[in-house]
Amino acid sequence: MRRTFRYLLPLIALLWPVEVGGHDLLLSTVEILGDASGASVSVRTSLSHLARAEQSRNRALTAVEIDMAVRRRLRLQAGGAVIAPGESTVRVDAATDLVSWRAAVPAAAVGLVVTESLFPEEPAARCLVRSATADVWLGALPTVPQLEQPGPLATFGRFVRMGAGHILEGPDHIAFVAGLLLLGGSLGSLLLTVTAFTLAHSLTLALAAMGMWTPSPRVIEPLIALSIVVIAFENLGRRGGVRRRPYYAFGFGLVHGFGIAGPLRELGLAHTVSALGLSLLPFNVGVELAQGAIVLALFPALLWLARSRPAVALRVTAAGSFAIAILGSFWMVDRLIPTGLAPSVFAQSAPSPDAVAARVDASFRPFAPLVSTRHDARFFYVESEGMPEHSMMVGITAWQQQVPLPQPYRGENAWRFPLFPQPAAAPLSAKEHFFRGAIAIAANGVPIFNPIKNDGVTDTFLAGELDEFGGHGGRADDYHYHLAPLHLQKLLGASTPVAYALDGYAIYGLTEPDGSAATKLDVFNGHSAKDSVYHYHATKAYPYLNGGFHGEVVELEGQVDPQPRAEPVRPSGEPLRGAAITGFEKLPGNSYTLTYTIRGETRKIHYTIQADGRYAFDYIDGSGNTQSETYTRSARGRGRGGPGRGPGRGPGRGRGGAPEAPQP
């Protein structure tokens, strides 16, 4: 017994790190295909590894998330310029834990280089970059020749574990080996059987791994299931089975070898001879060790039973074989179903950034040229001056003496949101967060702020601070909404989002795109209705629009980061009690007149944005007395008394719409 333990313990220690439920490969390949005219790039990596790296271990990654993760991690360059892949295809096989991603690349294959491993945060992760000219290892091992230096033993061990893991995680191989054992027989006949099986599957494993012959899994996988059924029925029939056993083992061993080769072949290691030598042998050793462990676990018990309780042994053989037959039959049916229907396998085309941007642009395009848009691989950008075409300010009864002025939301200072929104691990509510800055951008380029202002309690709409379109001038004289701009539906219709939240999810009007009622909204006014992607809706009561972020955003200093600066030109105003805005007019020559009443007196503010970039303000009281002021927008937009940024705050800080003072 003690002797047995001496052998078992190292075996257990060796197998321990194998993670059940996924091959922990830490190996990825990036393959560059094509020629001087164009290229495509294909990436293969472990699904569980990617999920862990993306910190979504507790839930499965969606195809879009996988696509995003690969796009973010794949660092492609050509001639020093960063290259963004085009339309991509994501294939996930949960059974083999494999992600295959492929995309066309707008560059010549010959000039393409991958500059970083897919998992730079993990020193142990390796990435093999294969192209027509060279195979290069990224990550811990920069080049192939160095592959053997940092511990061939470690590499050896990893492939041993990989091979053993493949057997131990694959219940079909276990079932087959168990089926071989159940029939009993002498130790000699058992050794013969196991040796035949090993020889056969080593042969086909090598053939497949070297890429010499790789039958489709669609043929091999059902055949493996069939082999299990056949062995089980052999056991049940039991006519001279023991003598025939080695032949069966050899024949089906050939089939199993192709199946076992799966993970090695999928890694694309096959064609790299040095890598093959390092992987094939230990992989096979692992396979043998795992099979040996199964034999060691089952054979002594079966032998003991056959000798001491022959009757029980017969029944165990019958029951076990019957169970294995059922299992094998189930697998066979399961594997004969087209893979598209199998639950663990899905293939999905991930839309390209261009395709997504074109869809998003349907909201903004109708407002050109006031609004212009652009995108890169990750973000959609909206440029505007934040000035809508409609009238502004009229209807406000709680006014802080701000007026609408155009803002430089352009270039680096443009609005942006992700093209591929990612659900947040911990969604943030707008009841506790984001009292500064915008939370969404309307289709007409006007930012939308939290309906609750930065005192954390005041509902701007109920407080009378908003005009008939749900907007007003902020502390930087920046016009913004606090409600969803439902009025834009006159132009857009119900089927196009009126705004986009800064986490990238669309905001529709009161109804679904097809006009049906929007039901089952979550606390953020959003849902994933009718199998569509998540989106928000406008409502007539709080939260009016997205009441927080279902998706990931970065929060910095109480606002979504980054976001554009609104640039004030004059000191921010104080609340003017009793004032009600009654008129607003846009005049030729960049002039505006705002009319308001206070204590029965009608006053006006007439202001002009001059050609020299200065801002001329005439404050006219009820008797016609005029007080004039001219303001200058200083460099970097740090206007006089710029709200929301005290002295000493450098550029790049305190960005975003100015916060609004609480109403006294």
3-class secondary structure, 489: helix
In the bound state with Zn ion, the residue whose beta carbon lies nearer, of 531 and 612, is 531
In the bound state with Zn ion, the residue whose beta carbon lies nearer, of 94 and 494, is 494
In the bound state with Zn ion, the residue whose beta carbon lies nearer, of 55 and 519, is 519
In the bound state with Zn ion, the residue whose beta carbon lies nearer, of 385 and 512, is 512
Per-residue binder mask for Zn ion (CB under 5 A), 119-138, x = binder: --------------------
**From 19-27, 486-494, 511-519, 576-584, span contacting Zn ion (CB under 5 A):** 511-519
Per-residue binder mask for Zn ion (CB under 5 A), 521-550, x = binder: --------x---------------------
**Dihedral in degrees, nearest 10, Cα atoms 381, 387, 391, 396:** 100
How near is the Cβ of 363 to Zn ion at its closest, in Å? 15
Tokens 């164009």 locate to: 38
Three-class SS string for 436-485?
CCEEEEECCCCEEECCECCCCCCECCCCCCCCCCCEEECCCCEEEECCCC
**From 145-153, 241-249, 437-445, 504-512, span contacting Zn ion (CB under 5 A):** 504-512
How near is the Cβ of 482 to Zn ion at its closest, in Å? 5
Structure tokens at 500: 């986009």
Distance (Å) of CA 5 to CA 165, 168, 533 = 21, 20, 55
Q: φ, ψ for residue 422 (rounded to 5)?
A: -115, 125
In the bound state with Zn ion, the residue whose beta carbon lies nearer, of 131 and 525, is 525
In the bound state with Zn ion, the residue whose beta carbon lies nearer, of 139 and 421, is 421
How far from the centroid of its chain's Cα atoms is residue 387's Cα? Answer: 34
In the bound state with Zn ion, the residue whose beta carbon lies nearer, of 29 and 454, is 454
Asked whether the beta carbons of 125 and 28 are under 8 A apart, the reply is yes
In the bound state with Zn ion, the residue whose beta carbon lies nearer, of 399 and 449, is 449
Among residues 499, 478, 480, the alpha carbon closest in space to that of 489 is found at 499
**From 105-113, 205-213, 371-379, 470-478, span contacting Zn ion (CB under 5 A):** 470-478
How near is the Cβ of 548 to Zn ion at its closest, in Å? 16
Q: Please, which residues have CB within 8 angstroms of residue 539's CB and are 6 or more apart in sequence?
A: 484, 510, 521, 525, 545
How near is the Cβ of 383 to Zn ion at its closest, in Å? 21
CA–CA separation, 489 and 611 (whole Å): 34
How near is the Cβ of 527 to Zn ion at its closest, in Å? 6
In the bound state with Zn ion, the residue whose beta carbon lies nearer, of 139 and 474, is 474
How near is the Cβ of 384 to Zn ion at its closest, in Å? 17
Asked whether the beta carbons of 346 and 363 are under 8 A apart, the reply is no
Asked whether the beta carbons of 293 and 11 are under 8 A apart, the reply is yes
Among residues 563, 581, 568, 587, the alpha carbon closest in space to that of 656 is found at 563
Q: Which of residues 436-465 bind Zn ion (CB under 5 A)?
A: 449
Structure tokens at 451: 């309906």
In the bound state with Zn ion, the residue whose beta carbon lies nearer, of 228 and 529, is 529
End-to-end CA distance of the chain: 85
Asked whether the beta carbons of 384 and 409 are under 8 A apart, the reply is yes
In the bound state with Zn ion, the residue whose beta carbon lies nearer, of 170 and 437, is 437
518 sits near Zn ion (criterion: CB under 5 A)? yes
Per-residue binder mask for Zn ion (CB under 5 A), 54-93, x = binder: ----------------------------------------
Size, binding site for Zn ion by CB under 5 A:
5
**From 90-98, 279-287, 467-475, 634-642, span contacting Zn ion (CB under 5 A):** 467-475
Asked whether the beta carbons of 256 and 173 are under 8 A apart, the reply is yes
- The residue from 163, 179, 386, 474 that contacts Zn ion (CB under 5 A) is 474
Tokens 């491993």 locate to: 117
Distance (Å) of CA 636 to CA 477, 561, 567, 569, 610 = 16, 19, 8, 11, 19
3-class secondary structure, 499: strand
Q: What angle do the packed helices 152-169 and 2-15 form, to 10 degrees?
A: 100
AA identity, residue 486? L
How near is the Cβ of 557 to Zn ion at its closest, in Å? 17
How near is the Cβ of 508 to Zn ion at its closest, in Å? 6
How near is the Cβ of 559 to Zn ion at its closest, in Å? 13
How near is the Cβ of 424 to Zn ion at its closest, in Å? 19
How near is the Cβ of 537 to Zn ion at its closest, in Å? 5
How near is the Cβ of 399 to Zn ion at its closest, in Å? 11
396 sits near Zn ion (criterion: CB under 5 A)? no
**From 38-46, 323-331, 487-495, 518-526, span contacting Zn ion (CB under 5 A):** 518-526
**From 284-292, 506-514, 556-564, 631-639, span contacting Zn ion (CB under 5 A):** 506-514
**From 137-145, 187-195, 471-479, 574-582, span contacting Zn ion (CB under 5 A):** 471-479
In the bound state with Zn ion, the residue whose beta carbon lies nearer, of 266 and 512, is 512
Among residues 422, 647, 442, 664, the alpha carbon closest in space to that of 544 is found at 442
How near is the Cβ of 530 to Zn ion at its closest, in Å? 8
3-class secondary structure, 92: strand
Structure tokens at 144: 């192939």
In the bound state with Zn ion, the residue whose beta carbon lies nearer, of 421 and 474, is 474
Binding site for Zn ion (CB under 5 A): 449, 474, 512, 518, 529
